[in-house]
Structure 1
Amino acid sequence: MTLPSQDHDDLVYHAQPADAGARLDRVLANAWPRESRSRLKSLITDGHLQVDGVVQDSVSAKVRAGQKMVLHIPPAEPATPEAEIIALDVLYEDDDLLVINKPAGMVVHPAAGNESGTLVNALLAHCGDSLSGIGGVKRPGIVHRLDKDTSGAMVVAKNDMAHRALSKLFAEDKENIERTYIAIVWGCPKALEGDIVGNIGRSPRNRKKMAVLVSGGKPALTHYKVVSTRPDSLASVVKCKLATGRTHQIRVHMAHIGHSLVCDPVYSRSRSIRHLGAAAQQTLETFGKQALHAQTLGFSHPRTGNFITFEATMPDDLKAVYNALNLSLSCM
């Protein structure tokens, strides 16, 4: 019998004939009894498992005898984030919630390699003991997220009532949430308005990337509309509305239809910009992140039920990218 083995930070298991046809999470729970099933599910869905060298993020996948399963265990994180006095751009605040304009470059919650300087650290200092703890020790008050390098509007719950209501709203009632993003993309879609549909999950080639999958993943829907484009169609301004909230959704969906976000270090291929001039080239080369901003956020207030909407001002460095590409901001 092949026993589970551990190599450095990886757990390794070779599937046995008796495992054939069983769910992946059940096989691994039996193989590694020291790991809780919820912990295993979280690690799998986060892309930390490889089966025969390919990332597998579906806990319900069927196991075949002889498969080699390698689970990477991330390093342990500090138990409790510390409060840090970090300036926040507050768009709205009351006893139940806080709406901020998150700057690009700020991680939402602590994780390996980003234990400090996060939005959670700032919120702990800003809100004190009132911050909702229902999101867990590492994510108090966090209802939804923005990528580290995406700026824009976010709502944070300040108590457990607001957290429960907002979490349910974001998870189950997408029709009563308005999330509008402004993106700069390479090229111009042939259809100036439409929907992008495609399940999103971990890329089978690179577990650090997401991709549109033929099978598996989670359903995702993005409504888009081109609001401005260059005469030469080098780049366009696109307004995107999310009907679902998957990791990297807009970045993955726009890249999937051949119009990746300008300067996206993960999903965008390099484009020739030599004809734009030295100043414009310098602006684009130093921007260093996806040209994406969460402009509008609207939702039903958890206490009053009133629909409230907020608009986050675009950061200056992203405005500079628009100017470098000679794109219009007046249309927004």
Structure 2
Amino acid sequence: MSEDQEDFLDEELLGQEVNESEAAELFEHLSIKVDPKQQLLRIDKFLHIFRQNSTRNKISQACRAGNVVVNGKPVKQNYRVKPGDQISVLLARPPRENVIIPQDIPIDIVYEDEDLIVVDKAPGMVVHPGHGNWDGTLVNALAFHFEKNGQKSDLDRVGLVHRIDKDTSGLLVIAKTEYALSYLAKQFFDRKTKRLYWAFVWGNMADDHGTITGNIGRDLKNRMQMAVFEDGSLGKHAVTHYKVIERFKYMTWVECKLETGRTHQIRAHFRHIGHTLFNDSRYEGDQILKGVNLPKYRQFIKNVFEVLPRQALHAHTLGFIHPTTKKEMYFESPMPRDMEAAVQKWRSYLAPQSQ
């Protein structure tokens, strides 16, 4: 797996959503050096022969979206491959063999047209069927929505361009055509989308803004966690920029912008600097990590955990260029109710102390 391929893993490919053996990326990046003896051949035919599990139509759509690059320049499907050409291709992976069962599950659709659909995912919903979660997912809900509205979706993934963890809330874009899938994939691959996350982290951040840098790879002791390797000996390069939105003495609300998109990037980076995400059970954030060891405070934290029973992470914004109109699309998701309830409890708890 190349470094760029893992960018599509987004926040979560571990645990209940998919296990290690099923952690296949949504897209693959091919890099091909054409043999010096290669005869002239149309690139769509060349790639179909080279990658037999990819249809000619999928290759054609990849060309239209600018995802087939030869010697540094995008080419059309009728380009004739020459000896020594360096070809770079971004393709959606072939569908999995499991059958998607349409299910009538409520979802919050914030925008939809013939090319794509933008959903504000609720916390607790798995994005795609996988190990331990074969139904009840966002994809099952989308399959029902398309079927109810007489829309055909022949993609097993229902055009997933990216995904977020079961317990992370917020915005996702789903392509409804192969061309839209290829066009949007290129933007995610090139890091040209606009995405910001909101997170609550334990402790009072020392600086109002900053950058966390450190390779992220699977933890050597706990394979269900990701760890940061500052010396670069393991893992893949990862950069997270953050700024403080509001402080709650023992907890801080931060906005995060990802320069890379490694698995668990926000969760692993903030834990590494001593500010684990609030109530993140995977990384021991469901313990009292900051504050005073007094009964009143312990009860308060217990009450906050009850109103926010998951890691405090929300995909707040999503921006991209529309595949057909080529216009910039931008969406914002308000703070979900559980995170808002936690904020209100913190404000109320600290109010007497400021008087």
Identify whether the pair has TM-score above 0.5, normalized to the shorter chain.
yes
Shift of 1:84: 0.7
The structure with higher relative contact order (CA 8 Å, sep 6+) is 2
How far apart in 2 are the matches of 1:146 and 1:227? Answer: 22
SS at match of 2:199: strand
SS at match of 1:294: strand
Rate the CA distance shift 1:290–1:103 in 2: closer, same or farther, 3 A: same
- Report the aligned-residue RMSD: 2.5
Corresponding pairs, count? 250
Is structure 2 residue 317 aligned with structure 1 residue 296? yes
Counting aligned pairs with the same residue, the percent is 44
- What is aligned with 1:322? 343
Is structure 2 residue 218 aligned with structure 1 residue 202? yes
- What is aligned with 1:264? 280
- What is aligned with 1:312? 333
- What is aligned with 1:82? 101
Matching of residues 100-249 of structure 1 within 5 Å = 100-128=119-147, 129-131=151-153, 133=155, 137=156, 139-171=157-189, 173-174=190-191, 176-213=192-229, 214-230=232-248, 233-249=249-265
How far apart in 2 are the matches of 1:307 and 1:244? Answer: 21
SS at match of 1:200: strand
Q: Identify unmatched segments of 5+ residues in structure 2.
A: 1-12, 23-95, 350-355
How far apart in 2 are the matches of 1:112 and 1:289? Answer: 20
Query: Does the 8 A contact of 2:307 with 2:338 survive in 1?
Result: no
SS at match of 1:326: helix
Shift of 1:261: 0.8
Shift of 1:280: 5.4
Letter in 2 for 1:168: K
In the alignment, which of 94, 106, 109 is matched to residue 113 of structure 2?
94
In the alignment, which of 284, 291, 294 is matched to residue 305 of structure 2?
284
- What is aligned with 2:60? none
SS at match of 2:244: strand
SS at match of 1:130: coil
- Relative to the length of structure 1, the TM-score reads 0.70
Deviation beyond 4 Å, 4+ runs, structure 1? 46-49, 277-280
How far apart in 2 are the matches of 1:279 and 1:194? Answer: 30
Q: Deviations over 1:178-216 (max 9, x none)?
A: 111111111122222111111212111111111112423
How far apart in 1 are the matches of 2:180 and 2:247? Answer: 40
Letter in 2 for 1:205: K
Shift of 1:47: 4.3
Rate the CA distance shift 1:292–1:265 in 2: closer, same or farther, 3 A: same
